[in-house]
Structure 1
Amino acid sequence: MIDALRFYSKIEIKKSTIASNGIINNRDMKRVRINTGNVGLVFKNGNYQKVITEGTYWLKFSQHVTVYNLTEKFHAPIASEILLQDVTLANMLEVIDVSDTEIVLRHEKGNLIAVLEAGQHLYWKGLVERTFTRIDLSKIEITEIKDKNLLKDYRLVQYVRTFEVFEYEKAILLIDDKFEKILNSGVYQFWKNATSIKILKVDMRQLQLEIAGQELLTKDKAAIRINFYTQYKVIDIKKAILDNKDFEKQLYIAMQLKLRTFVGNYTLDELLDQKENIANAVFENVKDAAENLGIQVLYCGIRDVILTGEMKEIMNQVLIAQKKAQANIITRREETASTRSLLNTAKLMEENAMLYQLKEMEYVEKIADKIGEITVAGNGGVVKQLKDIFSVNK
């Protein structure tokens, strides 16, 4: 009986209370329980020993267990090279090594969860379905991602360079300052790296260039200012951007020189009369120069011809004199016509006595309107007596 009691007492000594963390301790052994969805790494005195999965285990008191959730990323407590020497553990982990020129996109259930940068990343296999997309940042073309909306994700924006070319524009793509290709309208995205990427955009719409306030001398040395304009459009973007520097300034100078050349061949009067001809001449002579700039000139025109202060006064005087001369000519013409009409009337009266009498009566009527009372007597015509009266009064 005493021996039996001693036996049962030894059993009781080895028993212990189950703790809240699932570990049962006694002086020699402890029991460890790994729940579903977890794994444990067993260490002894800081050295890795093995991996344990779901279930209950008896371990020595000197052993320590670190429990990991299979749905989370695995952060190795010691060097991963040591842990991965265990084949069992290595088969349970997905190892993602990312170089300095790469990033890796981690998706779970089709959704982007994280962007993995340079380094080693460990994930538990089996419980969560994960996919990894490796991206080489040393190249510039984005070929790994088909959905362009994903590139707007805040986690990816820092790795992407975005350029926009509007509907009315074209652009030249330069890679490491070398011509690559011509870009039409659209949004272009490239991986961000040490490679230099530039785009040079040009407005392809019809444009207008103003040459304002050009002070010029005409053939007769008249000082004038001309406002000139031209309408044009870029037709060869590569020639305009790469073969020429500041093509707009070059077009401006070419138009300015042609304008000076033609204006100097005309007097002021000719210039004012033939503005359209001068504009057309400039247009025809600037075509070749514009073509070399990758530009097509569509139209040229003189907007204003402005006279300087003294010249303006002189022209005003000339204009006044011309108008006065025109007025005098008109006056003389009217006087001549009136005299001619009187002569014709006199001839008719001389040939027709009745017409003469009618004219006398008209003459008397007009005089009567002007004078209150007239008395005439004696023989002779009324007109003659009236004539004698006015001659005496005069």
Structure 2
Amino acid sequence: MLKRFVVLKNERAALLRDGDFERILSAGRHYFFDPLNQLSLQVWKLDAPMQDLALVDYLLGHEPDTADEHFVCMELGEDEAGLRYENKLLVEVLAPGSRRVFWKGLLTQHLEKIDLRQAYALAPDIAARIQQPNLRSRAVSGLAGLLVAQVPAYHMGVLRVDGKVQRLMSPGVEVFWRFNRDVQVELVDMRLQNLEVTGQEILSSDKVSLRLNLAATWRYTDVLLAHEKLAKPVDHLYRELQFGLRAAVGTRSLDALLENKQVIDEVVSEHVARKLEGFGIEVNSIGVKDIVLPGEMKTILAKVVEAEKAAESNVIRRREETAATRSLLNTAKVMEDNPVALRLKELETLERVAERIDRISVFGGLDQVLNGLVSIKGS
């Protein structure tokens, strides 16, 4: 009984006798005498990885020439990563210990091995190929094994490998291997930054509870030094601002704080400058934004201020009354010895009276008006 098998040009097949491998069949028509119907065919596509690795291992061990003729074998060690190319186009990033087997004949397969013990950063030319995988005509698989770190302008990147600070990264893009290590990049803003310490409940020395809000501006002077000595520089700065604020408020009375709010800024600035010396952080300015008093304390202070202002008002009123009385006495003394001054005062009085009258009828002349309206007896 004659049996025919057809293998397409983009396929390869294995001829099986009772399920056991006989040989590899290339593209074309193949005829075999099979009276007992023992022959069968297993077919694979040339553009897909070879999945039957057991067959490949058999050929490598027993028919190495056949394996070399039909397969491209890619194997990576535990300390190696790989970049797989198809027809010189990067298509896959292979993890350590990976194994790929491809058919020869349709696509040109190439593997570039990378020794992970030598470097943790990809070469710039390789990194440039995978920075924008979505813009490529064919996506690159296996990118989870890479860390693409982009440092924007006015920033620096702190590179940590396995928890240890390695170096600073300038603005730009770099790509790192994540296999066999923990790689992290922390972005650091080199510009002047704001930090607010809000809602701090502190007792003054006279046991008055105050709520304060503080604002500070700061910047890095030495990023590597700050991250070498401090696990979290910003958190450390925040705590020191808290401690400085408590030291400034807790040792002073409410009256002293309200009388001179600037003393809080000065004490906190001195405390922070002393504590952060040698840590690569510089604080430019510190200021208290708000001092919030309890409700009952607000009422008491309002009454105190009201009483103080009322007392000041009484003092001013008494002083003005005394001055007015003294001025009247001086005027009387002048008019007593000077008839002309007395007459001028009479005319001034007449003018004031006339301002309040719409119409005046005069009988007997101006002297009669003056004598009738103003009468000042001599002593």
User: Residue in 2 aligned with 1:374?
Assistant: none
What is the one-letter code of the residue matched to 1:134? E
Separation in 2 of the partners of 1:172 and 1:300?
27
Residue 298 (1) aligns with residue 284 (2): yes
Conserved? CA contact 2:60–2:67, under 8 Å = no
Conserved? CA contact 1:209–1:229, under 8 Å = yes
Q: 1:312 aligns with which of 273, 287, 298?
A: 298
For the structure 1 residues 129 and 119, does the alpha-carbon distance in structure 2 shift closer, same or farther, using more than 3 Å as the test?
closer
For the structure 1 residues 339 and 142, does the alpha-carbon distance in structure 2 shift closer, same or farther, using more than 3 Å as the test?
same
TM-score, normalisation: structure 2? 0.66
Q: 2:220 aligns with which of 234, 238, 241?
A: 234
Q: How does 1:168-207 map to 2 (within 5 A)?
A: 169-205=155-191, 206-207=193-194
Q: 3-state SS of the aligned residue for 1:324?
A: helix
Q: Aligned-pair distance for 1:266?
A: 4.8
For the structure 1 residues 240 and 69, does the alpha-carbon distance in structure 2 shift closer, same or farther, using more than 3 Å as the test?
closer
User: Residue in 1 aligned with 2:113?
Assistant: 135
Residue 110 (1) aligns with residue 88 (2): yes
What is the one-letter code of the residue matched to 2:309? K
Greater shift, 263-272 or 69-78, is seen at 69-78
Q: How does 1:62-141 map to 2 (within 5 A)?
A: 79-81=58-60, 84-86=63-65, 92-93=69-70, 95-99=72-76, 101=78, 105-112=83-90, 118-119=98-99, 121-124=101-104, 128=106, 130-136=108-114, 138-139=116-117, 140-141=120-121
User: Residue in 1 aligned with 2:258?
Assistant: 272
Uncovered stretches (5+) of structure 2, i.e. residues with no partner: 358-369
Separation in 1 of the partners of 2:299 and 2:42?
103
Deviation string 1:125-173 (CA, Å, 9 cap, x unpaired) is: 5xx5624022347454334835124766352324334445454554433
Deviation string 1:199-235 (CA, Å, 9 cap, x unpaired) is: 44444441313143332324x6665443333222233
Q: 3-state SS of the aligned residue for 1:291?
A: coil
Separation in 1 of the partners of 2:175 and 2:107?
30
Q: 1:157 aligns with which of 143, 154, 162?
A: 143
User: Residue in 2 aligned with 1:283?
Assistant: 269
User: Residue in 2 aligned with 1:148?
Assistant: 130
Separation in 2 of the partners of 1:39 and 1:253?
69
The root-mean-square deviation of aligned C-alpha atoms, in Å, is: 4.9
Q: Aligned-pair distance for 1:267?
A: 4.8
Residue 213 (1) aligns with residue 192 (2): no
Conserved? CA contact 1:223–1:311, under 8 Å = no
Conserved? CA contact 2:71–2:102, under 8 Å = yes
Conserved? CA contact 2:204–2:249, under 8 Å = yes
What is the one-letter code of the residue matched to 2:60? E
Q: Point out the structure with max Rg over C-alpha.
A: 1
Q: Aligned-pair distance for 1:59?
A: 8.6
TM-score, normalisation: structure 1? 0.64
User: Residue in 2 aligned with 1:346?
Assistant: 332
Uncovered stretches (5+) of structure 1, i.e. residues with no partner: 1-17, 23-33, 371-380, 389-394
Separation in 2 of the partners of 1:324 and 1:91?
107
Q: Across the two proteins, how many residue pairs are aligned to each other?
A: 346
Separation in 2 of the partners of 1:256 and 1:358?
73
Separation in 2 of the partners of 1:223 and 1:274?
18
Separation in 1 of the partners of 2:248 and 2:210?
14
Q: 3-state SS of the aligned residue for 2:242?
A: helix
